Amino acid sequence: RVLYPLKIQNHLKNPDPKKIQVGDMRDAIIINYKGKKFVDIGINQLIPFFGKEKYGTRVAAQIKTVHPKFSVKIIPRNEISEYWGYKVKEGPNLFSVLTAWNGNIILTSRKGKILTKSHTQKYDIFGKDILVVFGSTEKGVHEILGNNIRKIQNAKIFNFFPNQATETVRLEEAILGTLSILNFFNTNHT
């Protein structure tokens, strides 16, 4: 089954290269083809790229020139006012990523407190960017982090699925459920 794209700026794209206009924005990826850098914007035509970004990097590309000879300008995501999808950050291990994070951290765990509206206010959860951490079916967050879990600043541990009848919650279900609950509380529902 195919999931349809969200109706956000980087998903509302026509794959027909002749319908692309100067100024259009595209989600793109930097690729290597025959030893040269290109940008793939999803039109079955690679666009030469001369920037510093590494191969495999996801970027926001603004169209500078159109069919038949495309060119793009990379726009930093912090300069895009519309929602542009989630960000992925890589690190050597989870603890390193968490200690480098400046915003709030929510660790999801069946061992955590049940999240309530009063928790979101008490801990000012929505006052900064939030990093939500999920365990896996093999190991929970406590097992992954071990004793380092106590060393993480701005982290709170919450159980989003109290009374779950299974040992673990599937990751895709945990993500959707957790983000739905956070969105509900963030829209000032009581």
Q: How is 113-182 classified by DSSP, letter by letter?
A: EEP-HHHHHHTTGGGS-EEEE---SS--HHHHHGGGGGG-TTEEEEESSTT-SSSS--HHHHHHHHHHHH
Query: Is the sign of the CA dihedral 49, 53, 56, 62 positive or negative?
Result: negative
pLDDT at 9 over 80: no
Structure tokens at 9: 């700026």
User: What pLDDT shows up at residue 18?
Assistant: 86
- What DSSP designation does 190 have? -
pLDDT value of residue 138: 87
Burial class of residue 101 in the structure, from the number of CB atoms within 10 Å of its CB (0-12 exposed, 13-18 middle, 19+ buried): buried
- In the predicted structure, residue 101 carries a pLDDT above the cut 70: yes
Residue with tokens 């701005």: 154
Evaluate whether 156 touches 107 at the Cβ level (below 8 Å).
Answer: yes
CA–CA dist 169, 178 (Å, integer): 11
Q: Identify the burial level of 158 via C-beta atoms within 10 angstroms of its C-beta, where 0-12 means exposed, 13-18 middle and 19 or more buried.
A: buried
Q: Where are the domains of the chain?
A: 17-79, 94-186
| Residue 1 binned pLDDT confidence (cut-offs 50, 70, 90) | very low
What kind of architecture, by CATH, is found in domain 17-79? Beta Barrel (2.40)
CATH of 94-186, one of 3.40.1280.10, 2.60.40.1080, 3.40.50.300, 1.10.287.610: 3.40.1280.10
pLDDT for 2 equals 46
> Is 12's pLDDT higher than 80?
no
Residue 63's pLDDT band (boundaries 50, 70, 90)? very high
Q: Which residue has the higher pLDDT, 15 or 132?
A: 132
Neighbours of 154 (CB within 10 A): 17
Mean pLDDT of 20-44: 91
> What are the pLDDT digits (tens) for 153-178?
889 999 999 988 777 888 899 999 99
